[in-house]
Amino acid sequence: MPDPVLSVRDLTVEFKTEDGIVHAVTGVSYDVFPGETLGVVGESGSGKSVSVMTMLGLTPMPPGRLLSGEALYKGRDLLRMPKKELRDIRGGQMAMIFQDPMTSLNPVLTIGEQIAEAIQVHNPGTNDEDARKRVVELLELVGVPSASSRFDQYPHEFSGGMRQRAMIAMAIANDPQVLIADEPTTALDVTIQAQIIEVMRAAQQETHAAIILITHDLGLIAELADRVVVMYAGRVVELGDVHTIFNSPRHPYTVGLMNSLARLDADQEWLRPIPGQPPSLITPPPGCAFHPRCELSQGRALCRTDVPPLRDFGEGGLHRSACHFAEEVAAYQAATTAAVGAAHAS
């Protein structure tokens, strides 16, 4: 196993709001290895974006507050780095693709100017002509046709899919080691999503960057990710490679996610949603945050009192689950799947 390019350890971030302190991210740890795609999955408000944005110094503080943790990029802690150094890394070795391409581009600058700027900020002294050449190359790489004439167009002259391509071009402009994609396809319609997935594949091939893919779209995870981190209420509840997570999950929440997914390859009549609502992050449930919605817990006291630690399953810490009764999950999964089947049969 190569050394991780980025390792997050015990990251804890909270936000001060009028209603109380929001425990957005609590003790999150994971590694990102070179060239891999790590999917970070979870419901809205599960802390997926905050954990990543905090690493890049993009979480506004205040109201945000970093309580503990470190994010080691090539051995250096991003969270305690001088602002100037972090700025050099941002957009250079670690770049970001945003969710909504309609609002992430500056309306008064041309597409070309914005991508060229990303290059020139990190390579001072690049003259405009070289930058332009490189931008046109990048635009061609991400599949923007007539790149050289589109260079001089403004964002409002681009369609949503084309804008997201431009955003990707901007993100890979400086050959990043880590590419963070925050729900890159959520704002796009389904046909364009498929194209953008292809573009991201091409971008990864070109740059050999590790991608952190933040999404709640399990389809996208299945399509792109090598390994998956499942987050719930600000904590990592399960972590493993994509096949393990999809085929033999060890956490009832992951099972719930899979069951609520419409699949073409399974004979399902009904989808099985996870009952209840995501917990409040201001007053999270005691013990395991998932226990009020958990069908496996069945009111066992341990779930209500103790926060379950991440435990290893499989060798080398490559599959971890934070459930007191992770050993029972396989049977639970079989039962729920059977239940879905039975409902269909009757």
Partner 1 sequence: MPADDQLAQSREELHVGGLGSSSRPAAARAGTGSIVLPEEPSGAGMDLQLSYESGVELKARSQWAYARMRFFRHRLAVASIVVLILISLVAIFAKQIAPYGYDELDLNNIAAPPTLKDHHWFGTDLLGRDYLSRVIFGVRTSLWVAVFVAVLSTLIGTTLGAIAGYYGGTVDNLLMRFTDLILTLPGLAVLLTAAAYLGSSDSEFGPITLTQPVKVGLILAFLFWTGLARIVRGVFLSLREKEFVEAAKASGASDMRIIIRHILPNCVGPIVVTMTLIIATAILVEAALSFLGFGIQPPNPALGSLIADGQVQGFETWWLVTFPGLVIVVIALAVNFVGDGLRDALDPTQRIRA
- Does residue 91 interact with partner 1 by CB under 8 A? yes
> Shortest CA distance to 212 belongs to which of 250, 242, 169, 183?
183
Contact mark string toward partner 1, 40..79, x via CB under 8 A = ----------------x-x---------------------
> DSSP letter at 88?
H
Write down the residue that tokens 């369609």 correspond to.
159
User: Please, where are the H alpha helices in the chain?
Assistant: 48-55, 83-89, 111-122, 128-141, 147-150, 160-171, 190-207, 218-224, 242-247, 252-259, 301-305, 329-345
Query: What are the distances in angstroms from CA 327 to CA 227, 233, 291, 330?
Result: 21, 22, 16, 7
Give the one residue of 43, 70, 100, 140 binding partner 1; rule: CB under 8 A.
100
Contact region with partner 1 (CB under 8 A), list: 73-81, 99-107, 209-217, 239-247: 99-107
Query: Among residues 107 and 299, whose Cβ is nearest to partner 1?
Result: 107
Rounded least distance, CB 191 to partner 1, Å? 8
- Does residue 318 interact with partner 1 by CB under 8 A? no
> DSSP letter at 309?
P
- Does residue 195 interact with partner 1 by CB under 8 A? yes
- Rounded Cα distance between 143 and 47, Å, is 32
- Rounded Cα distance between 36 and 50, Å, is 21
Rounded least distance, CB 154 to partner 1, Å? 6
Query: Among residues 118 and 296, whose Cβ is nearest to partner 1?
Result: 118
- Does residue 90 interact with partner 1 by CB under 8 A? yes
Query: Among residues 95 and 257, whose Cβ is nearest to partner 1?
Result: 95
Contact region with partner 1 (CB under 8 A), list: 1-9, 115-123, 274-282, 332-340: 115-123
Give the one residue of 29, 153, 186, 248 binding partner 1; rule: CB under 8 A.
153
Contact region with partner 1 (CB under 8 A), list: 96-104, 273-281, 283-291, 309-317: 96-104
Q: Which strands sit side by side in the sheet containing 76-77, from one edge to the other?
A: 20-32, 6-17, 64-73, 76-77
- Does residue 140 interact with partner 1 by CB under 8 A? no
Q: Which strands sit side by side in the sheet containing 227-232, from one edge to the other?
A: 94-97, 178-182, 210-215, 37-41, 227-232, 235-241, 319-321, 311-313
Token readout for 224 is: 């792109």
Cβ atoms of 148 and 137 closer than 8 Å: no
Site size for partner 1 (CB under 8 A): 41
- Does residue 159 interact with partner 1 by CB under 8 A? yes
Give the one residue of 21, 66, 81, 109 binding partner 1; rule: CB under 8 A.
109
Query: Among residues 75 and 107, whose Cβ is nearest to partner 1?
Result: 107
**Contacts with 24 (C-beta within 8 Å, 6 or more apart), sequence order:** 13, 14, 15, 47, 50, 64, 234, 281
- Does residue 104 interact with partner 1 by CB under 8 A? yes
Give the one residue of 139, 162, 209, 303 binding partner 1; rule: CB under 8 A.
162
Paired sense of beta strands 319-321 and 94-97, if any: unpaired
- Whether residue 63 has a cis bond before it, omega within 30° of 0: yes
The footprint of partner 1 (CB under 8 A) covers 56, 58, 87-92, 95-96, 98-100, 103-110, 117-118, 121-122, 143, 145-146, 149, 153-154, 156-157, 159, 161-162, 167, 170-171, 192, 195
